[in-house]
Structures are given as C-alpha cells and as structure tokens.
Amino acid sequence: MNAPGKPQLPTYDRSKLRPRLIHLGFGAFARAHWMSYHQDFLLQTPDSDWGVVVSDILFGADRFGQFEENDHLYSVLEHSDTISNVRIIGSIVKTAHPERGGMDAFFAPFLEPDIAIVSMTVTEKGYCLTGGALDLANPAIAHDLDNPTAPKSAIGALVEALARRKAAGLDGFTILSLDNLPANGKLCQQAVLSFADKRDAVLAAWIRKHVTFPCSMVDRIVPALTDESRALITEKLGGMQDPNGIVCEPFRQWVIEDAFVKGRPAWEEVGAQFVPDVEPFEEMKLRTLNGAHSFLAYLGYLAGYETIDACMEDANFRSVAHALMVKEQQPTLDVPGDVDLDAYAAALIERFSNSQLKHKTAQIASDGSQKLPQRMLASIAWHLEHNGDWTRLALGVAGWLRFMTGSDEQGNPTPINDPLAEPIAKAAALLPDWDAYIDAVFAMEAIFPPALVADVRFVGGVKQQYAALIELGSKRHMTAMVDC
C-alpha cells in the first residue's frame, strides 16, 4: 500500500486483460467492494488476463460514458479517522449498456467465449421476488416474458444472455450474486430458473446443467456520495475530478461458496474466504451489522441524527446498539467455532463510529420492507421459540413503523423510499389510531409472516415499544433502554 493520501496505481499490464468477468448493476458498492479485491488479485498476479466488463440494464448510461472518457479508470478512497488511502482501479476493459448501442451491443460481451463469471448487484428489488417466488405480476418481468430479447429487468437480461450463449453453442457461466441478501445465490437461482421455465423449458433445463449460483456474503460500508466526499476525492487526486470515484471504509469482508463452473480468480490470495456454506456468515452480518444499522437508522433519524457516527456519539444509542448485537442477535447465530462474535460486535461499534464516512441514516432507512425480515423478524421468531429477550428488536420494528408514518419527532417529513410505500401510506392514513395502523401494516404478508403476526407476544411487544416511542420520543426512550 502506498503512503496515505498517495494514489495507488494499477501496476499490472492492462493490455493483457480481456473479458473474463461481467458485472451487472455497477453501482457504488460493487465499485468499492469486490472490484477492490480484484484489483489486489491483479496487482499480485500481474500476468493475469481476468478483465472486467461492467454493464447495467436500467441505470448508468452516463456513468459508462464517463468511464470511457477516463480510460475505464476510477478511484476508491478508503477513509477513516486514522486511514486515508486512494486506489485507482484499472481492471475494467469494456462497458455495456442498451442505451449505448442497443440490445445487441449490450449482449455482445456475454457472448465472449471466455466469460466465466457474471457477478451482480441489483439490490433486493432487482430479483423481482415476492414470498420467495418470482413475481409474475412485476411490470418488468411481465414485459420481459412478452419481449425476451429486449429485457428491462436484470433477471430477464441474464436469461436472454444465457439463451444467446446456448444458441451460439457456447457453455454457461457462474452467476455470482453480491447483493446483501440471505441465500443470495439461491434467490438468484430461483428467479432465473422460474423466469426460464416460463419462457422456454428446454432453455431452463440447459441452464440447470450449465450454470451455477454460489452464495456470497459481502461487507463494506459505502455511503452515498455527497458534495463533501466528492471534494475530498478531488483533493486526494491532486485536483483531478473523478465522477465515478467512491468513498468507503477501510474494512472489507467477502465470503464465497466455492461453486464455479468455468474457473475463477484466486481471490482467496487477497483476503476473500471460500467456504462450503456461506449461510452462517450471512446471518452473522445481516443480523448483527445490518440489523444494528437499521435500528440506528430509524431511531436515530427520528431523534434528529443525520448520520450513523452522530448516533454513536450519543452514549445511550451506542450502548443499546451494542446490547442489541450481543444480547439479542448473537444467541440466534450458529457460526464456526473460530468466529469471535464479541470481537465482531466491538469492531462494528468502532466502524459505526467512523466520523469520516458520514453515512446517512436516511440512506440506510430505505427499502425497510425488504430488509426487516432478515435483519430483525427472523431473530424475533427465534426468540419467541426459545423464550429469549427481544426487547431491543421490538424497538427496532417499532422504530421502522414510526419512521414510515411519514414524519419525524420534530414534525418534519421522513424520506420514505420503499417499494411498499404506497400501501404503508394507506395504512398510515388510519393515524392517529396507531393501533389500527400497526395492525394494517402487520397484515402485509410480504413483510410479516402470518405465523409471527398470529403470536400475541409479537404484536403486543412491538406495540408496547411503539407506545413508548410516542410517549417519550426516541432519545428519552433510548435512555430508558440502557438498563434493560
């Protein structure tokens, strides 16, 4: 690593790189996370030819033009209170977007014979699943089944790419989900195969034989860019502007199920972990890190804290978030014996306290209806079965319900960005009868399993915490929770 503040350049021979990997949905997290691992792999293996094609079906056409203007280079600033390193990522060899040349140009890289891996970050919404099954009523899915060669969804695009490879006599590839979802590979497989079954049974059978869908766990905090962070990147680059630059924390983790059909880079040589079963690591991260993140996002925003590090400066928020991790999330986990959960929780508190990231509570609060089940509800179900303490988890759910009413404790609008925003807003119209509001939201089976809602302990526990929030407000109630 170069001295802090001095950009680390790609010292490998970029001319040797050729299309071997494609990434679909090339947003901020992908740029900061797995691409940094791949950069380290190329730095360590300078004769490697594992080049990357970046693609997107919905967003990013302008961004890809900017990539080309910058010779497919972009910067990653790893930033904390003690570290500030700039890295120039040089592994991209090509971009592909249907708005830049049409559908045939978009699919051309997928027909490169040596493409071995198609990775993806399309967020929870991009899988177009409801209740674990493909949502055939989703407008993009319905469109793609009627117009398979001109898809609007990531799932439709993957199936069309595989159909074109099959027609060309090529083999399949590994589809590697990097989205922050439990069993992300299995969910991707469910979506792709369900779509293929509806489209062409012969194609679906071919995909089952020639494609794998390994699961993965990814971890790195990557806040949305702000004017302040863009200016910081420019400063670190000596005055040069990088429209595709990104700021993230120094920490990173990547755990991958080793199930690849056409080989892979040796990412384990630069810190990635390849394991037979990713699920224990997924649950550890989703419940401990992401669960606490959501907890702080909703309750912190209601209290007037704009960033996670601001929440951490409040000793009560810090204490209750740590207790949530160790007292309520840890007991639900079954991790390998060499994983120190107490040390993991302590490290998370320090990561959350990074004052340089300015990770917005409003950003983390988005898409809560998609995140709540795996981050909190699964743990609550475990505690109900085992007669455990889930008071803080109940407060987290209550905080989400309060946030989704549309206003914070100062009467200002809350920034609601959620695929179920409309039906939840209809439920919020029942206010000030908050009891009826909660019942209406609990009836939404896409979020709350009926078996959980049927348990009076769950309903009563969440309503008790909601009532305390209404009476005391987030800050005062958090103070009361410290001694629980």
Kindly state the DSSP code that residue 266 receives in the 8-state scheme.
-
Burial of 230 (0-12, 13-18, 19+ CB in 10 A): middle
pLDDT in tens, 114-146: 999 999 999 988 999 988 899 999 999 999 999
Q: Is residue 158 located within the same domain as residue 87? A: yes
Q: Which of 275, 291, 320 is at the close of a domain?
A: 275
pLDDT tens digits, 62-119: 888 888 889 999 999 999 999 899 999 999 999 999 999 999 999 999 999 999 999 9
> Does residue 5 form part of some domain?
no
229, 358 Cβ separation under 8 angstroms: yes
Domain housing 243: 14-275
1 pLDDT above the threshold of 70: no
Do 382 and 262 belong to one domain?
no
Mean pLDDT across 10-37:
96
| Pairwise CA distance, residues 52 & 60, whole Å | 16
* Residue 380 and residue 397 in contact, taking contact as beta carbons nearer than 8 Å: yes
> Both 237 and 338 in a single domain?
no
| Average pLDDT of span 174-193 | 96
- Contact by Cβ (8 Å): 107, 160: yes
| 69 and 81 part of one domain | yes
Gap between the Cα atoms of 453 and 236, Å rounded: 51
Say yes or no: 291 and 268 in one domain: no
Q: Are 202 and 292 found together in one domain?
A: no
* Residue 310, pLDDT above cutoff 60: yes
Same domain, 171 and 285: no
Q: What percent of the chain stands above pLDDT 90?
A: 89
Instruction: Classify 225 as helix, strand or coil.
Output: coil
**pLDDT(4) > 60:** no
Asked if the structure places residue 1 within a domain, the reply is no
104-134 residues labelled b (16+ CB within 10 A) or e (exposed): eebbbbbebeebbbbbbbbbbbbbbbeeeeb
Instruction: Quote the tokens at residue 468.
Output: 């305390």
Judge whether 98 lies within some domain: yes
238-286: pLDDT as tens digits: 999 999 999 999 999 999 999 999 999 999 999 999 999 999 999 999 9
Asked if the model's pLDDT at residue 2 lies above 60, the reply is: no
Q: From CA 385, how far away is CA 194, in angstroms rounded? A: 33
Instruction: Among 275, 307, 340, give the residue marking a domain's end.
Output: 275
In a domain, 60, yes or no: yes
Quick check: is 342 in a domain? Answer: yes
Q: Which of 260, 257, 261, 255 is nearest to 277 (CA)?
A: 257
326 and 213 in one domain? no
Cα–Cα distance, 193 to 173 (Å, whole number): 14
246 lies in some domain? yes
* Rounded average pLDDT over 451-462: 98
Q: Are residues 271 and 288 in the same domain?
A: no
One domain for residues 388 and 339: yes
User: Residue 7: inside a domain, yes or no?
Assistant: no
| 8 lies in some domain | no
Name the domain boundary from 236, 255, 275: 275
Residue at token pair 């909190």 = 376
pLDDT of residue 483: 82
- Going by their DSSP bridges, the two strands 216-219 and 246-248 should be labelled as unpaired
Q: Does one domain contain both 332 and 453? A: yes
In the structure encoding, which two tokens stand for residue 333, read together?
């986990």
Q: What is the CATH number of the domain that holds 341?
A: 1.10.1040.10
Q: What contacts 13, CB < 8 A, 6 or more positions away?
A: 46, 47
* Domain count within the chain: 2
Question: Tokens 């009868």 map to which residue?
Answer: 433
Secondary structure letter of residue 413 according to DSSP: B
- Which residues does 290 contact at the CB level (< 8 Å), separation at least 6? 180, 371, 374, 375
Where residue 255 sits, what CATH number does that domain have?
3.40.50.720
Rounded Cα distance, 57 and 95, in Å: 11
The verdict on 150 and 174 lying in the same domain is yes
